Structure 1
Amino acid sequence: MRTRQVFRSVGRLADGREIIYFDEAPGTGRADVADRRPLPPFSTGSQLRYDPLLDEWVALAAHRQNRTYLPPPDECPLDPSQGERLSEIPAGDYDVAVFENRFPSLAPAPDTAAADHDPALRARPSAGRCEVVCFTSDHSASFSDLTPERARTVVEAWADRTAELGARSDVAHVYPFENRGIEIGVTLQHPHGQIYAYPFVPPRIEAMRGAARKHRAATGGNLFDTVVADERRAGTRVVAQGEHWTAFVPAAARWPYEVRLFPLRRVPTLAHLDEDQRGELAGIYLDLLSAFEGLFPQPAEGTDPPTPYISAWHQAPVGADGTPDTEFALHLQLFTLRRAPGKLKYLAGSESGMAAWINDVAPEDAADRIRAALPASAARRRTESKEQR
């Protein structure tokens, strides 16, 4: 496959934050466009506090109470700047843009630990970084509306940021994700995602890493390879696959409609994907998002908005030297909390109180519905993959 070239340039916003443009053509000069807003210097008050009962860190970020909340379309801070309408993107247009979040949950901060007289509090300054990833300058689009070329540019941006952030001494895990829909808690409607570079390994990643270690000790094999191979052999819940990727509804899915997408050649992070894997990923990911869009009837006046979802990239934790845990397998978890038209899956007493999940939709039925909603391109890809095997 021909190597895909993306043109990367770095600029600064008025308060000192970094902005990175990923362009599909050279010479745009976008990083040189000045941010004309009169912003005060960037600072945060984030703090990490330790929960000894669960052996987990909790981030406190009280400054986020003042973040921008559902502005009207003509005041969206993720649109490109036009005339006197100034936004977080100084350039008048862009392909894909990434910048440091103005209201981050995680960021280097002064030591705000409590006084020694509080014996119950173990705290440390925050660290890491939070970034916003704008997928397109088109405010009214969704990721599923992107061309395969633009989706590939987003993949390149994810891989670039994974490599750079994962190399930082204050980062233990890099998490790219997208929240879509007000039901999820989205505060800006422009098509965008985020990247959290955690200074600790998040609980879910730590749990999977622990399970992988136990599996290796018990069987001598890799847990993720075993799960993918078993799901492919079962076939019942496989919804899409190609030469390099396979997507399936997990046998023990927690969410009403949930898909896991794995590369068939195990890699620890997005930065480790080769050209063929990256190229196919753009297409199969668009297929899955299109299927989620088609799971429920198109909205009419007074009915459901488009399908809300969370798209979560699970990547390997990194050591102090930036080296990823190669026992861990990169994969995507894509899920929606909508269980039926007009009905959401709420995390109630069992899920929120005990972290014990109860699913209302059988994974096999969910897989049938997702397969039926896939575009024709996905069916062709699956047929070609079967012929190649």
Structure 2
Amino acid sequence: MLPYYRRVHRKVDGRELVLYGLHPLEAPPLPELREPLSPNPHLRYHPLRQEWVVYAAHRQERTFLPPKEHCPLCPSREGGFPTEIPFPHFQVAVFENRFPSLVPNPAPPPEGLPVPVGRALGRCEVVVYTEAHVGSLATLTEEERLLLAWVWRDRYRALYALEGVRFVMPFENRGEAVGVTLHHPHGQIYAYPFVPPILERESQAFRERPVLLELFPHLEPYRVDGEEGFLAFVPPFARYPYEVWVAPLERHPGLWTFSQGEMAAFARLLGRVVARYDALFGEAFPYVMVFHAAPLGEERTFHFHVEFYPPKRAKDKLKFLAGTELGAGTFVVDALPEETAKRLREVL
């Protein structure tokens, strides 16, 4: 029996909303905002980089840093501002993004372009961690964080079952420094119709050898934290000064193969990594967190892990990507991984 309750609600505009909780949610929905939706993304192929680029012009109009009273991720209130979640209470909510880059029923791409084009088939979801407007993975209770981990696991199952989906990626953008447009604690999930280039290269590396299993015995100077069966570390090849990876010590293709004990350990460790980040400079630490799980067909050799990309190199300095990073793909890093690992290890 799964350790959560699940309720599916069809919004008035046709999008799906899934509510997860430790107790059944039986309240009737409140009135919803009915606005026309017209997402029409498509793909174009980059012949030099040999990768797809997604064009989603409608995203230019997406909600941008609204005041708290107009936050679309808060629960709706009777007689108040109608949010994306038409219920007065919830624990975790997942809904189809109003401004998606990939859609389940894409229109045909434009014709007559001088490069190959494709349909932007897929799905983009928003994962709201809590009904509280302020918080983070670090401030959720252990019970709430574990529920969220189970939600990610369920979304992997649901999205990989969609026709045409080849890769599913949960991620979180935290902080204005990485371009976040809503402050409410949340993440996103993209379900792609292709395997993105970074995951193609990782899959090839794991097919050739068990890269992480070979690396683990040498990571003591880079260790940040750990839980039974899991390690958080600054990779010795980190491209960002405070980059951290979280990985199971045994190979798993994704968290859908974790035991219940492993789910709990994974959730605790994620929370502590974010707590360490926040303690580093005494403020909410910006980052991009990305789950790297097996693309479809790579389950036998891929090793699931989570990567944190934080843009800060000091309390008052950001790591901007400039000429060598953007133009050549070669990163220049301002701090040694063993030194940043030591700081993060000792900060709590």
Q: TM-score range by the shorter chain?
A: over 0.9
Separation (CA, whole Å) in 1 of partners of 2:211 and 2:12: 47
TM-score, length-normalised on structure 2?
0.96
For residues 242 and 115 of structure 1, do their structure 2 counterparts lie closer, same or farther at Cα, with a shift above 3 Å needed? Answer: closer
Q: What is the match of residue 155 of structure 2?
A: 161
| 1:340-359 to 2 correspondences below 5 Å | 340-359=314-333
Q: Could you tell me how far 1:295 is from its partner in structure 2? A: 1.0
> Does 1:170 find its partner at 2:164?
yes
SS of the aligned residue for 1:294 comes to: helix
The alignment covers a number of residue pairs equal to 347
Q: Could you tell me how far 1:43 is from its partner in structure 2? A: 3.9
Q: Could you tell me how far 1:170 is from its partner in structure 2? A: 1.5
For the Cα contact (< 8 Å) 1:77–1:88, is it kept in 2? yes
- Report the aligned-residue RMSD: 1.5
Separation (CA, whole Å) in 2 of partners of 1:290 and 1:129: 31
Q: What is the match of residue 9 of structure 1?
A: 7
For the Cα contact (< 8 Å) 1:44–1:109, is it kept in 2? no
> Does 1:101 find its partner at 2:97?
yes
For the Cα contact (< 8 Å) 2:124–2:189, is it kept in 1? yes
Q: What is the match of residue 384 of structure 1?
A: none
For the Cα contact (< 8 Å) 2:106–2:121, is it kept in 1? no
Separation (CA, whole Å) in 2 of partners of 1:35 and 1:124: 37
Q: What is the match of residue 223 of structure 2?
A: 238
Separation (CA, whole Å) in 2 of partners of 1:143 and 1:297: 16
> Does 1:290 find its partner at 2:270?
no
Q: Could you tell me how far 1:35 is from its partner in structure 2? A: 4.6
Structure 1 alignment gaps of length 5 or more:
217-221, 299-305, 375-389
Q: What is the match of residue 382 of structure 1?
A: none
Separation (CA, whole Å) in 1 of partners of 2:31 and 2:26: 14
Q: What is the match of residue 26 of structure 2?
A: 29
Structure 2 alignment gaps of length 5 or more:
none
SS of the aligned residue for 2:277 comes to: helix
Moved over 2 A (4+): 108-116, 227-231
Say which one has the larger Rg.
Answer: 1
**Could you list the per-position Cα deviations for residues 218-267 of structure 1 after superposition, in whole angstroms to 9, with x for gaps in the alignment?**
xxxx2232123432xxx100111121111111001000101111112211
> Does 1:78 find its partner at 2:73?
yes
Equivalent residue for 1:308, pick from 269, 274, 286 = 286
| 1:113-262 to 2 correspondences below 5 Å | 113-116=109-112, 118=113, 120-213=114-207, 215-216=208-209, 222-231=210-219, 235-262=220-247
SS of the aligned residue for 1:196 comes to: strand
For residues 19 and 363 of structure 1, do their structure 2 counterparts lie closer, same or farther at Cα, with a shift above 3 Å needed? Answer: same
**Percent of paired sites with the same residue:** 41
Separation (CA, whole Å) in 2 of partners of 1:297 and 1:343: 14
Aligned-partner residue type, residue 124 of structure 2: C
**Could you list the per-position Cα deviations for residues 330-386 of structure 1 after superposition, in whole angstroms to 9, with x for gaps in the alignment?**
101123111101100000000011110111011011001100123xxxxxxxxxxxx
SS of the aligned residue for 1:113 comes to: coil
For the Cα contact (< 8 Å) 1:108–1:128, is it kept in 2? yes
For the Cα contact (< 8 Å) 1:47–1:109, is it kept in 2? no
